[in-house]
A = this chain, B = another copy of it.
Amino acid sequence: MGNATHVTIVYQLAADSRSQAEQIAENISIEQSVEMPAGTVPASASASLPTIEKVDPIDENLWKAVIHYPVSIIDGDPTQFLNVLYGNISLLDGIKLLDVHDQYFAELLSGPAFGIQGIRKLLNVHTRPLSCTALKPVGLSAVELAGRAGQFARGGIDIIKDDHGLADQSTAAFTERVSNCLKAIRDGEQHSGKRTCYFPNITTSPARLFSRFQLAVDLGAEGVLISPQLTGIEAMHEIAKTAQVPVMAHPAFSGPYVIPKSTGFSMELYYGKLWRAFGADAIIYPNAGGRFTFSKETCQALNQQIRKDFCIFKPSFPVPAGGIDLVSIPDWIKEYGKETIFLVGGSLYKQDTGIEQATATFQQMLGPDE
C-alpha cells in the first residue's frame, strides 16, 4: 500500500495532426490537475503537475496519449480519483479514456468482496454458468411479485434480482416486497431442492441507501442491486466494503459514459475496471443482439476484463442482459463461457409454459454442475 507515485491514464484523442494531439494532451494534463494557465503554477505546487509519456498515432485523425498523474492530487479519495480521471475533460468532445494502469487501483480501492467464487459459494454451484432473472413489473403488489419470485424459485433459478425500477413505491414497499419475496423463494426452494438468491434493488439517495442496504441484509437478502451512476460510484464501493452480501451493478444512467464514440470511457475500462475496482461482484451490461447495440466483440472484451487478473481484486461475474432470448442461451454459453451469469427477464415471462416451466428449461440449458 502507498507505493504508487503516479497513476497512468491512456486517452484516445481526436486530432488532425501530431502537433494538435500533443497540444490536447498538454491541455488535458493541466485541466485534470492544477487547472491553471502555463506560467502561473507556483513552484511549490509543481509536484502536482502530470508528465506526458507519449502521444502516438492510432489511426487517421486519432491519437493515443499516455499521461502520468501524481497520486498526491488524489491522496486516497476514490471520488477525487474519478474527478482526476474525467472531471473537467468530460466537458470536452473528442477525448475518450481507454485505460488506467493497474497499480494504484489496489491502493485506493477494495474491489469485489465476493466475486465469482463468493457468489458460487453462496449458491453451492461450482462450475456451470449461472441463471438470473428480473422481478417485475413495477405496479404489482408485494404479494403478486412474491408469487412470481416463488415461481422462479420453484423452477430453480439461481438469482432473482429486482427490476432496477423497483424502489420503495407504495404498490410494493421495500420491506414488504423483500420479506414476501424471500418467504416465497424459501418455499420455492423446497420444491426445487436448490438454492435461489434474491438481490433486491437498494438504489436510492445517499441518505437512505445505507439504511436500505442494512434492511435488505437484515431481512435475509443474499445480495443487492445498485445502479452506481445514480447513487454515485463510490456509494457502491462503501456498500461493497462492508462485505456483507454481494453487489450486482446495474448500468442505468451510465450510457453516456460508454455509448458515444468520441467521449467517455471504453466499456472495458468503465464497467470492467472501474466498476469492478469500486466493488461490483457482478456487472450487468447490455448484451449484443438484444435491445441495445454493443457488438459481440465488445462484449467479449468486457467479459474478459471483468474476470481477468487485475491487481489483487477478485474476478467478478459478467452479467449480459437486455433482451436475451431463452432459446439463444446455449449459443451464448458457447460464446461467453461458464463464468457468466445470464440474465433473462422478458423472455421467461412470455413463454406459454408459464414462469416455473420456462425457468426449469433455462436451468436445463445451463448443464450439470460438476
Q: Give the interface of A toward B (CB within 8 A).
A: 27, 31-37, 39-42, 44-48, 72-75, 77-80, 82-84, 86-93, 134, 136-141, 144, 163-165, 167-171, 203-207, 209-210, 227, 229-235, 237-238, 251-257, 259-260, 263-264, 286, 291-293, 322, 345-347, 349-350
Most B Cβ at <10 Å: residue of A168, A171, A251, A259? A259
- Which residue of the partner chain, among B46, B134, B322, B349, contacts A139 with CB atoms under 8 Å? B46
**Structural contact, A48 and B137, CB atoms closer than 8 A:** yes
Asked whether B203 lies within 8 Å of A237 as measured between CB atoms, the reply is no
7 closest Cβ pairs, A-B complex: A90-B255, A48-B139, A232-B232, A206-B206, A256-B256, A45-B139, A87-B252
Q: Is the CB of A37 within 8 A of B75?
A: no
Q: How far is the CB of A114 from chain B (nearest CB, A)?
A: 20
Distance, CA A346 to CA B35, complexed state (A): 8
When C-beta atoms are compared, the residue in chain B nearest to A229 turns out to be: B90
Distance of A357 from chain B, by nearest CB (Å): 15
Which of A33, A87, A92 lies at the interface centre, i.e. has the most chain B CB atoms within 10 A of its CB? A87
Once bound together, how far apart are the Cα atoms of A137 and B50, in whole Å? 13
| A251 contacts B48, C-beta separation under 8 Å | no
A257 contacts across to B, CB distance below 8 A: 256
> A212 → chain B, closest Cβ, in Å?
11
On chain B, the residues within 8 Å of A79 by CB distance are 167, 203-205, 230-231
Residues of B within 8 A of A90 (CB): 229, 251-256, 259
Tell me whether A78 and B205 are in contact in the complex, defined as CB-CB below 8 angstroms, given that A35-B136, A44-B140, A163-B35 are known contacts: yes
- Known: A83-B203, A92-B293; 4 extra A-B contacts, CB below 8 A, are A42-B140, A75-B169, A75-B170, A79-B230
Pick the contact of A235 from B83, B165, B205, B259 — CB < 8 Å?
B205
Per a CB cutoff under 8 Å, which of B73, B93, B141 touches A138?
B73
Whether A165 and B83, one on each chain, are in contact in the complex, defined by CB atoms closer than 8 angstroms, is yes
